[in-house]
Structures are given as C-alpha cells and as structure tokens.
Amino acid sequence: MKAWLLYTLARLGIFAAALLLLRVLTPMPWYWATIVAALVGLLVSYIALAKLRHRVALSLAERRPGPAHDADSDFEDDFVDAADGEAPSEQPVSDADRHAARRDEV
C-alpha cells in the first residue's frame, strides 16, 4: 500500500476513534466533540505516526524532479575549471558581481 494512503487512513482512524470516544464518554455537544477529536487526532498522529510521515515525505521527495542546473552550480563549475586551466581565460563572475554591475549601469 502506498505510504500516503496508509498515513491518511491512519489519521482518519485516529480521528474517528477519538470522536467516537468523546461522543460516548462525554456529554459534549457534537460540534465541540468534533473540534476536540480533530485536535486530539492531530496530536496523537504527530507523535505516533512519525515514521510513516517520514516515509510519505521521502516518497514525495523522490517523485519531485531535481533541477537540471542552477546558477550557483554553473558558477562553481566555471570557477574550478578556470583554476584548472580547462576553461577560457576569463574569470567567472558571481551573481553578486552581476547585480552590482546592473546597479552601476542604471
């Protein structure tokens, strides 16, 4: 079973159990029992379902595609290549230098 589905069903089960216990054992009105059950379910699931929540987070992170490249990695690669002598002779420019040059142009 998928981790997110198991996590969702576990949280709904905790909420339903808390609501049932509050309705049976207390003279509380249904709307207060629902609010309290939601809070109890939130707290219990936060403590009891930590491993399952971690598995859900990992499965979501695996599904997310990583960036093809970013400016910082390109700058670091250019800087290392320039130090090794494999890149053109011009020194790479950092983002901070680019922003400073744009401010000077305006």
pLDDT confidence tier of residue 48, bands split at 50, 70 and 90: very high
Asked if pLDDT for residue 33 goes beyond 70, the answer is yes
**pLDDT: which is higher, 93 or 74:** 74
Q: How far is residue 104's CA from residue 3's CA, in Å, rounded to a whole number?
A: 53
Does 87 or 77 have the greater pLDDT score? 77
Give pLDDT tens digits for 83-102.
Answer: 776 545 555 567 777 777 77
* Burial track 65-90 (b if 16+ CB lie within 10 A, e otherwise): eeeeeeeeeebeebeeeeeeeeeeee
